[in-house]
Structure 1
């Protein structure tokens, strides 16, 4: 099995990343699925999605949970039965989870692709990044911004948020591996700390509530 990376912050928050190299039959070994999860798995037409779904269950097992400990609310946001906070992501050959004992969290893994250049104006003020002349650097930067906004969207956990109008990411340097973001919606503002890392052409971004993150990131 392929646990790719583990990050631990202040013993209260863990990020685990899995590199999906196994067959579906191998991923089925060593885990148990609830009846609902088995039905969901069988309904997935994409082998890529099936592998992502199963690898997430292996990540849960790595930190002492099983599929039976995971539940979803009416908005599709995952929760753990013991009350800890969790967020889930998978993209192509990588999947990841973040679990925190103290605050809501969000995580997103994205493959770095030039396609993001076409959709960038839909999720961020694109003119802010026109000074980046290097195409690869622009793809990397926009992928981090997208992942950050996706992570904050997952923290909010409800519909109606618009990436362009309600979620804002502070500019950052690649070498800093962190930034901050805000959700501004319905007259309220919430601040969040964001960290990111890049590996094998992928970007992983995860976010915490700012009030609990000063000594974590």
Structure 2
């Protein structure tokens, strides 16, 4: 089973990334899924999404959890029955899970040029330091998207907008970390953000 990478950002937080190489049958056969999880996976039209969903359950096993330990609130945010904080992501052939004693969010994105076309939808403040002609422009946009997606998952509040309510402080791709902020309806909160690149993908995660 291809557990691709394990990271320990601090003593209370662990990140695990899975490279999805197995078939649907190889992924589903070892799992004991809740009825609602089975219904959900069988209802997915894309096998890629099915395999992503199932690989996340294998990551849960790598943490010592089962599908029965995971539940979702009304906003779609995942929770663990033991009270630890969790965030989940999958994109094409990779999935990731972060588990911590504090608030966390995680996102994996494939690096694609078309992100530049939609940049104005999620970037505002960050244009002050981005160089659109730089060789790492697409990589930086992907990091910013990943960090903001992670913040959105962490906060899970309808009405939050990437462009208006989330800020990513200037960073270098070589740094692999930066600071980000939520500024929403009087709430101003600072988070540490980390990111890494592998095989044409970017993984970003934020920790409270």
Aligned to 1:150: 149
Q: Is the 8 A contact 1:177 1:197 kept in 2?
A: yes
Q: Is the 8 A contact 2:109 2:201 kept in 1?
A: yes
**Secondary structure at the counterpart of residue 196 of structure 1:** strand
CA distance in structure 1 between the partners assigned to 2:130 and 2:179 by the alignment: 21
1:21-100 map, 5 Å: 21-100=21-100
CA distance in structure 1 between the partners assigned to 2:127 and 2:188 by the alignment: 24
Count, aligned residues = 207
**Secondary structure at the counterpart of residue 76 of structure 1:** coil
Deviation at 1:132, TM superposition (A): 4.2
Deviation at 1:9, TM superposition (A): 3.1
**Secondary structure at the counterpart of residue 8 of structure 2:** strand
Could you tell me the TM-score, scaled by structure 1's length?
0.93
Deviation at 1:130, TM superposition (A): 5.2
Pick which of 1-10 and 176-185 moved more: 1-10
Pick which of 50-59 and 184-193 moved more: 184-193
Aligned to 1:171: 170
Q: Is the 8 A contact 2:129 2:170 kept in 1?
A: no
Deviation readout 1:128-166 (Å, 9 max, x if unpaired): 3553423x5111000000000000111111211000100
**Secondary structure at the counterpart of residue 82 of structure 2:** coil
**Divergent runs of 4+, >6 A:** none
Unaligned runs of at least 5 residues, structure 1: 210-217
**Secondary structure at the counterpart of residue 31 of structure 1:** coil
In 2 relative to 1, CA 10–127 (structure 1 residues): closer, same or farther, beyond 3 Å? closer
Aligned to 2:118: 119
Deviation at 1:188, TM superposition (A): 1.1
**Secondary structure at the counterpart of residue 22 of structure 2:** coil
Deviation readout 1:108-141 (Å, 9 max, x if unpaired): 000000110000011002643553423x511100
Aligned to 1:7: 7
Aligned to 1:205: 204
Aligned to 1:212: none
